[in-house]
Amino acid sequence: MRQAWRVADVRAAEQALMATLPEGTLMQRAAAGLARRCALLLEEAGGVYGARVTLLVGSGDNGGDTLYAGAALARRGAQVRALLMRPDRVHLAGLRALRTAGGFTVRELPDRADLVLDGIVGIGATGGLRKPAAAVAGRLSELRGRHGARAVVVAVDVPSGVAVDTGDVPGAAVTADVTVTFGSLKPAHVLGPATVRCGQIELVDIGLGPALRADPAVSVPDSGDVAAWWPHPGPASDKYTRGVVGIATGSATYPGAALLGVSGALAGPTGMIRYAGSAHEEVVRAHPSVVAAPSVADAGRVQAWVCGSGLGTDDEARTTLRSVLATALPVVLDADALTLLIDGKHARDLRRDAPVVVTPHDGEFKRLAGEGPGPDRAGAALKLASWMNAVVLLKGDRTIVATPGGEVWANPTGTSALATAGSGDVLAGLLGSLLAAGLPAERAAVAAAYAHGLAGRRAAAEGPVSAPDIAAALRPTVRDLTSR
Ligand SMILES: NC(=O)C1=CN([C@@H]2O[C@H](COP(=O)(O)OP(=O)(O)OC[C@H]3O[C@@H](n4cnc5c(N)ncnc54)[C@H](O)[C@@H]3O)[C@@H](O)[C@H]2O)[C@@H](O)CC1
C-alpha cells in the first residue's frame, strides 16, 4: 500500500523535522537524491559527462533543490544550464553552488537537452502555471538531445502546473517521464489527471516519516493488500458459509444488466448467488448455478444485496429498492437505484446500520450530490460519503473509494477499456460478492475496483472490450491476484 499526504501535513512534518536539524539539511538530502536519480537516467542514455542538462528554476525552494542537483551533475561533467523563471527571485545559495560547479544561466530555453529538470514550482504552487512557465512547459516535448532522442523530463517533487492536493490539472502543466518526490507522496501523485503527468514516481527518503503525524489523505492499494483481504474458502466451508450474494438488478426490459451483474458475482468469493427480479428466466438459462426468484421477498437468505442496474425507475423498482434497504444486510446501490434516491423518497430507508456502498459515475454523482465532483474528486466523494453515510465508489480513470469515516482510496489499475456499457454491472456484482463473503464495505469496494481494473486491462490485451469480456477476464485475474 502506498499513502499520500496533503501539503499542509507535509509542511508541518518538514517544519518539525527542520527544527531538529542544521539549516538546509532537508534541501541537501532532497537535492542529493534528485541528482542521483538524474545521473542514473543520464548513464542509461550515454553517460553524465558531456550530457546537456537544462534546469527550469522557479523562485521557491523547488528551484533551490533543482539548482543544487544541477550543481552536482555539473561536478560530474554535465553541461548544466539554468533558465530562471524570475531572475530577481531565485534561491541565491543554490545559484551560487551551480555557478561554482561550472553551470551557467540562460535567457531562453535551449533547443538541445538530454535531461530537463522541472523545478518551476513544487508544493508551494498556487493556481495554474503562470507565464512564462506555462509557455516553457508546452515546449518540453520538442527538445532533443544525443542522437536526436527526446529530452527526458524529470519533475522535481511534482510536475509544475498540477494541483498538488487534488490531482487536478487546471491548465498548462509539465508532463514528466520521472517525478522525484521527497519525504512522502502527495495526492497529485496518485489522484486524478495529475497522475498521468508524473510518469514514473520515485520517492527520496529525507527522514520525514516519523514526523508525519497526520493521517494520510489518500491510500493506494497494491496487489498484496487485495490478495490479503480476498476471502478464501477453508476445509470446513460450504456454499452458505462462503456467503450468498443477492442480485436484484435488471428487468424484463434490461435482462443484460442482470446477466452482467451475476457474471461479476460469479468471479467473486461467495459460494452461491441468488437472483431476484423479472429477468430470472434469462439468468438461470445463462447461469444454471444461480438460484432465481421473481422478487427480493421470494429470494431466500443472502448476506449482501446488489441493487440497481437495469431495474428501471417504476413502482416495482422502488419496491425492490425498499426491500433490500429494509434488510439488515450490506447493500450495493448502482445505476437506477441511485436515480431512485434523488427525489428523497428513500431518505428514511437509507437510515440503516448495515453498510451501503454507492457506485456512481460522474453523471450519477451529480444527480445524487446536486453538483458534479468537480476538480477535487476525492474531496467531493468524501463529502457525499459523509452526507449519505455510505461508502462512495466514484468511477473514473482513477476510481476513488471514500468512506463516511474520512478515508480515501485511489485505485491504480483503471483503464479506459472499462469505459464500456455494462462494465459497472460487472463491478457491482463482484463487489456484492466480496461484501457477502464478509469483507468490510470499504475493502470490498477497493478490492473490487482493483480486480475489475486488472480484468479490463487483461481483456483489452485481447482486442476491443465489451462488458462480457471484462467478466470473462475476472476469473484468471482473480486467480493470479490471489494465488501469490
Ligand atoms: N520545506 C522543506 O523542508 C523542503 C522543501 N523542499 C522543496 O521545496 C518545495 C517547496 O518550496 P516553496 O515552499 O518555496 O514553494 P515552491 O518552490 O513550490 O513554489 C513557490 C514559488 O513558486 C511561485 N509560484 C507559485 N505558484 C506558481 C504558479 N502557479 N506558477 C508559477 N510560479 C508559481 C511563487 O511565487 C513562489 O515563489 C518542495 O516542493 C520541495 O521541492 C525540499 O527541499 C525538501 C525539504
pLDDT for position 484: 64
Residue % of the chain over a pLDDT of 90: 92
Please report, for the chain, the start and end positions of each structural domain, with discontinuous segments joined by +: 2-215, 223-482
DSSP class of residue 216?
P
What per-residue confidence (pLDDT) applies to 294? 94
Distance CA 363, CA 375 (A): 14
| CB of 60 shorter than 6 A to ligand 1 | yes
235 pLDDT higher than 80: yes
* Cβ(153)–Cβ(116) below 8 Å: yes
C-alpha cell at 352: 440503516
Answer yes or no: are the C-beta atoms of 132 and 148 closer than 8 Å: no
Q: 291: which residues sit within 8 A by CB, 6+ positions away?
A: 272, 273, 274, 275, 300
Q: Note the pTM of the prediction, 2 decimals.
A: 0.94
Q: Do residues 82 and 90 touch, judged by C-beta distance below 8 A?
A: no
Cβ atoms 266, 240 nearer than 8 A: no
For helices 362-369 and 377-388, give the axis angle rounded to 10 degrees.
Answer: 50
% of the chain with per-residue pLDDT over 70: 100
Cβ–ligand 1 contact at 58 (below 6 Å)? yes
User: Which pLDDT does position 80 carry in this prediction?
Assistant: 98
Per-residue pLDDT of 87-135, as tens digits, reads: 999 999 999 999 999 999 999 999 999 999 999 999 999 988 998 899 9
Output the pLDDT for position 421.
87
Query: Phi, psi at residue 65, to the nearest 5°?
Result: -55, -45
pLDDT in tens, 47-92: 999 999 999 999 999 999 999 999 999 999 999 999 999 999 999 9
Residue bearing the CA closest to ligand 1, atom 26: 125
- The answer to whether the beta carbons of residues 389 and 356 sit under 8 Å apart is yes
Q: How confident is the model at residue 344 (pLDDT cuts 50, 70, 90)?
A: confident
Residue pair 116/140 in contact (Cβ under 8 Å)? The answer is yes
CA proximity to 202, closest of 162, 157, 163, 160: 157
Nearest-angstrom CA–CA distance, 426 and 482:
19
**Confidence grade of residue 238 (pLDDT, cut at 50, 70, 90):** confident
Instruction: Report the SS3 class of residue 336.
Output: helix
User: If you measure from the C-alpha of residue 121 to the centroid of ligand 1, how many angstroms do you get, rounded to a whole number?
Assistant: 5
Mean pLDDT of the chain: 96
Is the Cβ–Cβ distance between 59 and 89 less than 8 Å?
yes
Q: Which atom belonging to ligand 1 lies closest to the Cα atom of 161?
A: 29
Q: Where are the beta strands (DSSP E) in 321-405?
A: 331-333, 356-358, 391-394, 400-402
Confidence of residue 405 (pLDDT cuts 50, 70, 90): very high
Q: Are strands 400-402 and 391-394 parallel, antiparallel or unpaired?
A: antiparallel
Q: How many helices (H) and strands (E) does the chain have?
A: 17, 18
Same fold, 2-215 and 223-482: no
What is the CATH number that goes with domain 2-215? 3.40.50.10260
Task: Tell me the mean pLDDT in the region 30-39.
Answer: 98
pLDDT tens, residue by residue, 291-334: 999 999 999 999 999 999 999 999 999 999 999 999 999 999 99
Residue 450 phi/psi, 5-degree rounding, is: -65, -50
pLDDT, tens digit (0-9, with 9 covering 90-100), for 376-393:
999 999 999 999 999 999
Top mutation candidate among 21, 23, 123 for ligand 1, by most atoms within 8 Å of CB:
123
What is the predicted pLDDT for the residue at 458? 97
Measured distance CA(447)–CA(454) in Å, rounded: 11
Mean pLDDT of 156-168: 97
Question: CATH assignment of 223-482?
Answer: 3.40.1190.20
Whether the CB of 126 sits within 6 Å of ligand 1: yes
Please name every residue paired with 4 in a beta bridge, in sequence order, or none if there are none. 185, 218
Separation of CA 119 and ligand 1 centre (Å): 8
Sign (positive/negative) of CA torsion 434, 437, 443, 445?
Answer: positive
Predicted-assembly ipTM surpassing the 0.95 threshold:
yes
What lies within 8 Å, CB to CB, of 36 at 6+ separation is: none
